[in-house]
Amino acid sequence: MLIMLKLDAPREHIEKVKTKIISFGCTPHEIPGSLKLAIGVTGASSSLQIDDFISMDSVDDVVRVTKPYKLVSREMKSEDTIIKIGNQEIGGSNLTIIAGPCSVESRNQIFDIAGELKEMGIVFLRAGAFKPRSSPYAFQGLKEEGLEYLAEVKDKLGMKIVTEVKDTQTLPLILKTADILQIGARNMQNFSLLEEVGKINKPILLKRGLAATIEDLLMSAEYILSKGNYNVILCERGIRTFETHTRNTLDLNSVPVIKKHSHLPIFVDPSHGIGIWDKVQPMALAGVACGADGLIIEVHNHPESALSDGFQSLTPKNFKSLVEKIKQLAPIVDKKLDL
């Protein structure tokens, strides 16, 4: 259920509505908008009646939300969510590019790549310090050491850091450095982790699971919002199908579907989505063309010797040529790329 109040509703009217919601055993969520102030209701809201609220002071309208996901839905909030990180904005008409290597491999490696990206105007640097890997014997990241290098890059180059959090134990550590916390595909339904990152106030980049439907992805985002963190960026990175030529099947259909049903920004990861470096450019352009709010792309200065995912990483030179194309494409789909 969603209760719409006048934008100038006095605080006491708002509090009265929230108190009444709580009295029914439900939870109120204030959702600010530019035209109305909405209060979303989650919990066992089926017992609530529209009549319980419609005649309260400052209440304009009361509507039922028909989807299983509530706070993430457009029914609850019709305007696009815009996430602010320093002077950067994600979502709405902004097109954002996150770039960097799969993993931090050494101080030199990350400074070299970050330096090249910064020169192109890239603000958001991706790089993993704690890496979840299918094999216990594969390179698991530089861990704390990797985070230290990222902190140094952040400090010296002024870039924003996007890095993965793979469990609740390392969350406090990662929080010190990360500007955006990434949750990987295999953790998309790690509900305990979702609840924990729901209690912090930094943006979360939530990747779609390999067998997750669009609804599953939205339900997982709902876990985060329901704990209070509204800064969630969704990310399509490919699903698993019978096709063996490509690493994953990038399901770009999900972009316009999610734009319709949710107010959250949706990014595309063409690097994992196709998994072959020389086909990342066309898939990145396709992602922008179908309406994505951003891209996350693997860039490595020596892809051939990368410790992970080298085969899907662009060189800085190829990445630069992609960025030039994106600059031309963005205005056609009413997006602005601030590079």
- Give residues 126-165 in contact with its own copies (rule: CB under 8 A): 132-137
CA distances 276 to 81, 114, 131, 249, 312, Å, are 32, 22, 20, 12, 5
Closest contact distance (angstroms) between CB of 329 and its own copies is 6
Of 79, 148, 152, 216, the one binding its own copies by CB under 8 A: 216
Tokens at residue 11, please? Answer: 């605080």
Closest contact distance (angstroms) between CB of 43 and its own copies is 6
Residues 6+ apart with CB under 8 A from 125: 98, 99, 100, 113, 114, 117, 150, 153, 159, 160, 161, 162
Nearest to 270 by CA among 244, 291, 288: 288
Of 48, 83, 206, 288, the one binding its own copies by CB under 8 A: 288
- Residue among 28 and 287 whose Cβ is closer to its own copies: 287
Q: Where are the beta strands (DSSP E) in 180-316?
A: 180-183, 204-207, 232-236, 266-268, 294-298
Closest contact distance (angstroms) between CB of 22 and its own copies is 16
- Residue among 82 and 290 whose Cβ is closer to its own copies: 290
Q: Is 286 helix (H, G, I), strand (E, B) or coil?
A: helix
**Which residues in 45-84 contact its own copies (CB under 8 A)?**
68-70
Question: Where does this chain touch its own copies (CB under 8 A) — which range of 31-39, 121-129, 237-245, 313-321?
Answer: 237-245
Residues in the interface with its own copies (CB under 8 A) total: 74
Site string for its own copies, 163-202 (x = CB under 8 A): ---xxxx----------------xx-xxxxx-x-------
Question: Where does this chain touch its own copies (CB under 8 A) — which range of 9-17, 75-83, 147-155, 325-333?
Answer: 325-333
Q: Where are the beta strands (DSSP E) in the chain?
A: 2-6, 27-32, 36-42, 59-63, 83-85, 88-90, 94-100, 124-126, 160-164, 180-183, 204-207, 232-236, 266-268, 294-298, 336-337
* Residue 291 contacts its own copies per CB under 8 A: yes
- Residue among 58 and 313 whose Cβ is closer to its own copies: 313
- Residue among 4 and 280 whose Cβ is closer to its own copies: 280
- Residue among 12 and 324 whose Cβ is closer to its own copies: 324
Residues 6+ apart with CB under 8 A from 298: 99, 100, 101, 102, 126, 271, 272, 280, 309, 312, 313, 314
- Residue among 159 and 275 whose Cβ is closer to its own copies: 275
- The span from the CA of 129 to the CA of 222, in Å, is 27
Of 19, 47, 93, 213, the one binding its own copies by CB under 8 A: 213
- Residue among 6 and 186 whose Cβ is closer to its own copies: 186
